[in-house]
Structure 1
Amino acid sequence: MAKYKVVVTDSEYTSFEPEKDVFSDLDVELVFEQCRTEEEVIEKCRDADALLNQYAPLGTKVIEALDNCKVIARYGVGFNTVDVAKANEKGIVVSNVTDYCLDEVADHAMALLLASARKTVLLNQNVKAGEWDFNAAAPMYRLRGSTLGLIGFGNIPQNLTKKAQAFGLRVIAFDPFVPEEMAGELGVELLELNEVCRESDYISVHLPLNARTEKIISKDQFAAMKETACIINTARGPIIDEQALIDALRKKEIAGAALDVLEKEPVEKNNPLLTMDQVILNPHAAFYSVEAEQELKRKSAQNIADVLNGFFPKYLVNREVEDRLSLETKY
């Protein structure tokens, strides 16, 4: 019998070679599940020493039921699937990977911005439907000289800033946790949220999802935007009040949206966004590249291996447990 049981609570992956390679020097039984509910997680993971988690909910009930768990490792940057406060109470380490897809998400946001500006998706659909007419994309405005507003100014939007500036875009941002000096070094002016909404031609969302940021983009923000503005979201769907977005699009308060994430995923068949030509929808794909996926899987597994070997992981979410656990600092 293996010394440790590591359970993958759920995943969309077809290969787990990076995880197996990381765990090769440990006496680990690696178990693969596809849990969709808290009840399923409790049933399958109650005796696990560690969890690798993608989307399965790890709320209060789940964490209370984890009798042996030492570490929960998220496949991703966000950790909104995990009740971190309850993990703190039980002395369970929570980890993520903050730096595996910086270029991928920034590139995807830029691609959605360009597709919105040049209306390439609409034109492609029209040509394939037999319509050969560039006027179908009218009005179309020059990109150079436009303003990109960033909601959040962490690693990914800072990466995006350099790409956008190369296209001649002025970049402004809202982020109350970023010093003006640091933003200024990148040529970015920090403004209040509604000021960014008023001044921007394109708005790109890059916030983590938490109680403060859920539906932070809602009626007031859409009302402040230009009628020609387009909003882009490669972060988390619930950051935008989706019904308020739908209403703003219907009333033509804004010109369009390009969304890689939605409030409910996969998209529901009756979602009005599916019928709107001015909306581009992607299936939560911004993070993906072959290289990024391999890096994510390796680093997520290494977070677990570190804890099982007696160390705090490099990507520690809940530093509140540092004083409670007898783990050593490695990084």
Structure 2
Amino acid sequence: MHTPRVVVFDERIADLSIERAVFDDVGVDLTLADGISPERVATEASDAFGIIVDANVPVPASVIERLDDLRIVARSGIGFDNIDLEAAADRNIRVTNVPDYCLEEVSTHALALLLTLARKVHVYDRATSDGRWEWSDGVRIDRLSDLTLGLVGVGNIGRRMAAKASPIFGDLVAYDPYVPPEELRSRGVDPVSFETLLARSDVVSLHPPLTDETTGMIDAAALETMGEGAILVNTSRGEVIDQDALESALDDGTIAAAGLDVLETEPPVDESLLSRDDVVATPHSAWYSEDSLVELRQSAAEEVKRTIQGREPRNPVSKNEWQ
């Protein structure tokens, strides 16, 4: 019997020890490939049964059409906007993701960015590093229990964020057209329209998937609706925000500050946004803890293993999901 070949595309890892442990009782030819361009993927995976890819690895239709032996694309993460789902479905290729591996990490990271900005920790840190010791460097800071937090997207991560933020903020409002209003109310969150959320919220935290509908949803008009003094936090996808509009809004004081774990282009080509005093940025690291990294790699590999064994994957992605 032909030994199935599995290729892992993930520049975050140096070896395949975790994946090899998963496939220990299944004979596979396991390879860690370098390079993340479509041509590299098509070349390295030319005879692969399955591939495991992270967010930076493109799997467009042009790649899928060249992989005659491919049966599964396992996304080692939550989002799957880097994979052409329709092309995969046309070829009867399974696509899976890991939807629940870093819920604690991302929600905690979003809250950390939010609290850093609201309490002006970044301002005080830079001032004291420059030799100052003045409480007034942080003016103005408002009591958090008097502020309203708005959540855009209330999926698994958004729900964790709501639970963690509820004891801290005075009010929680949320916009998510795919979650029933009664479910949001049961979690102590007031369901509102997108425009109402922007207008009411002192802090906006973004947790939507990246779709045609959400791409660029935080544009100049949305930022104008948020208004002076507002804080924006994004741990979802960089493309949800019009980055040029954000920089302009910060320049003219339309909003007060932004906490960004994701950018339109990663790594950034233009670092002007990251060098600002009113921006706190982290390098797409909200997902990370040692526990979440192990869980992520095991879960993605297990989906490929199940497919090799003729079993159904635990987390299949429909081409119609989130559309």
TM more than 0.5:
yes
Look up the match of 1:324.
none
- Deviation at 1:275? 2.6
Asked whether the 8 Å contact 1:51–1:73 carries over to 2, the reply is yes
Look up the match of 2:42.
42
The number of residue pairs the alignment matches comes to: 319
Mark the runs of 5 or more structure 1 residues left unpaired by the alignment. Answer: 321-331
Aligned partners of 1:267 and 1:26: how far apart in 2?
A: 40
After TM superposition, the structure 1 stretch with the greater mean CA deviation from structure 2, 33-42 or 110-119, is: 33-42
Look up the match of 1:81.
82
Asked whether the 8 Å contact 1:122–1:137 carries over to 2, the reply is yes
Q: How does 1:243-258 map to 2 (within 5 A)?
A: 243-258=244-259
Look up the match of 1:230.
231
Look up the match of 1:288.
288
Look up the match of 2:318.
318
TM-score (norm 1): 0.94
Asked whether the 8 Å contact 2:74–2:97 carries over to 1, the reply is yes
Asked whether the 8 Å contact 1:206–1:234 carries over to 2, the reply is yes
Question: Quick check: 1:100 aligned with 2:101?
Answer: yes
User: What one-letter code is carried by the residue in structure 1 that aligns with 2:116?
Assistant: A
Aligned partners of 1:16 and 1:129: how far apart in 2?
A: 44
Aligned partners of 1:25 and 1:319: how far apart in 2?
A: 31
Match of 1:144, SS state, is helix
Mark the runs of 5 or more structure 2 residues left unpaired by the alignment. Answer: none
- Deviation at 1:18? 2.2
Look up the match of 2:279.
279
Aligned partners of 2:120 and 2:2: how far apart in 1?
A: 55
Match of 2:166, SS state, is helix
Deviations 1:207-251 (A, max 9, x none): 111211110111111010130100000000001111111111111
Q: How does 1:138-217 map to 2 (within 5 A)?
A: 138-217=139-218
Deviations 1:165-189 (A, max 9, x none): 1213311001001001100100111
Asked whether the 8 Å contact 1:7–1:31 carries over to 2, the reply is yes
User: What one-letter code is carried by the residue in structure 2 that aligns with 1:45?
Assistant: A
Aligned partners of 1:2 and 1:141: how far apart in 2?
A: 65
- Deviation at 1:318? 2.3
Asked whether the 8 Å contact 2:86–2:319 carries over to 1, the reply is no
Asked whether the 8 Å contact 2:148–2:169 carries over to 1, the reply is no
Aligned partners of 1:239 and 1:167: how far apart in 2?
A: 26
Aligned partners of 1:105 and 1:274: how far apart in 2?
A: 20
User: Equivalent pairs: percent with the same residue?
Assistant: 36
Match of 1:167, SS state, is coil
Deviations 1:186-213 (A, max 9, x none): 0111111111000001000001112111
User: What one-letter code is carried by the residue in structure 2 that aligns with 1:318?
Assistant: S
